[in-house]
Amino acid sequence: TQEGVLRRQSLRESAARTYARALPIVPVRARGLTIEGADGRRYLDCLSGAGTLALGHNHPVVLQAIRDVLDSEAPLHVLDLATPVKDAFVTELFRTLPGELAARGRIQFCGPAGTDAVEAALKLVRRATGRQAVLGFTGAYHGMTAGALDVSSAATSVRDTLRLPYPQDYRCPFGVGGEEGAALGARLAESYLDDPKSGVPEPAGMIVEPVQGEGGVHPAPDAWLRRMRALTRARGLPLIADEVQTGVGRTGAFWAVDHAGVVPDVMVLSKAIGGSLPLAVIVYHEDLDVWEPGAHAGTFRGNQLAMAAGAATLAHVRENGLAERARLLGARMLSALRSLATRHAWIGDVRGRGLMLGVELVDPEAARPGSAGPPPADAARAVAVRRECLRRGLIVELGGRHSAVVRLLPPLTLTDDQATAVLDRFADALDAVDR
Ligand code: PMP
């Protein structure tokens, strides 16, 4: 039974991960946006495997691609040997890559997780430049392995990295927000690098999320991203774009860097590229191809089922214009969420790009009198909103530095009616929190 499964799981499984406790459901079936629990209840899933399920659960083209591999008796795992399945995946992926990367890119399979690919990217730019420090950004999230943590914001070690200010409208470190705040951040980054007394060692590269996801859904302005590209190019620094979460149409362009017309030197890709199965790669400019044989290894780089599911997903998104669909639907949802915000004083901000949406909750009563910035974040209210959403059959994610940002990451296959259902349930949940 559902209760038995939940009880056994919470006995044996460490509390390091919290989903299982925050979402006490036992999914047994899923299709598209919908998950069905062992108790027969149905939920609209806007967590989407933390953004992995571009086509939703068990999309027919993904299932068919997996079945085709199984039925063909192709090997399921052969390390990094060449196979027709891998060939099809790489061909499809390269069709989508921006600018020079499509023509002069190289690919390295890194393992199952986004953090594996982040490690490979960091190692690659360090090898290519012979330098160590990598520039990262405040609020960044790149994964949970040591190197990835070092360029993420939650890191305790700042040995190898400098955190530059990431542009934020709502809690702009310069108190101005918008393009102006972003421009101040860019100028600060430039002056750090230009000032020999800043103590910043000559870096090996820069790593950036075009939209910060775990950090609380902060889209970087296109002009700022172009400036980071210009800055890194002028200094001969490789620019790494972490598109683990933003990739494959999620933000309304196939890759989020496409909005700004920026072509990074390295792209870190995972989540949706595996069509819901574990897969992570880096793609990088051939000039950076400094690996010698054996320089980078890892057993699980050859998951044929993930490559097949991934190729089917990439092709489906491209052929059906799902990035454009995410852009239009995302804009509609963003404005609907903004009008909901006018009804609740404790919604501080609504933001996002495409189908990567965030609602930041604040405590207006705790605002210090006379202080100019936004009120403090309210994590307790975010937990309450998530609980009320779950009661109404809607699964949402929490994020942001204070876990006070309610995040929606629905699949790109979301229909207009489903979007309406998600918004209705969300509106009801917000009203319930007020009561
Ligand atoms: N980079 C980004 C931008 C991410 O959002 C994540 C995961 N949320 C990662 C890296 C790490 O991926 P994984 O959890 O698969 O290691």
Asked if residue 142 has its Cβ within 6 Å of ligand 1, the reply is yes
Residues (pLDDT < 50) of the chain are 155-158
Asked if residue 152 has its Cβ within 6 Å of ligand 1, the reply is no
ipTM of the complex: 0.99
Nearest to 238 by CA among 105, 122, 125: 125
Enumerate the domain spans of the chain.
2-58+322-434, 62-319
Residue linked to tokens 């950076």 = 288
Nearest to 270 by CA among 66, 84, 78, 93: 93
Q: Are 190 and 149 in contact (CB under 8 A)?
A: no
In this structure, what DSSP letter does residue 139 have?
Answer: T
Asked if residue 244 has its Cβ within 6 Å of ligand 1, the reply is yes
pTM attached to this predicted model: 0.96
| Amino acid 158: pLDDT | 44
DSSP state letters, 367-383: SPTT--SPPPB-HHHHH
Best of 19, 52, 115, 268 for a ligand 1 pocket test (most atoms within 8 Å of beta carbon): 115
Cα dihedral across residues 318, 320, 321, 325: positive or negative: negative
CA distances for 373 relative to 62, 181, 220, 332, 348, angstroms: 46, 14, 20, 28, 11
CA of 41 to the centre of ligand 1 (A): 30
Please give the angle made by the CA atoms of 346, 163 and 380, to the nearest 5 degrees. Answer: 25
Asked if residue 143 has its Cβ within 6 Å of ligand 1, the reply is yes
CA of 148 to the centre of ligand 1 (A): 9
Classify 62-319 by CATH class. alpha beta
Domain 2-58+322-434: homologous superfamily in CATH: Aspartate Aminotransferase, domain 1 (3.90.1150.10)
CA of 3 to the centre of ligand 1 (A): 31
| Amino acid 155: pLDDT | 44
In CATH terms, are 2-58+322-434 and 62-319 the same topology?
Answer: no
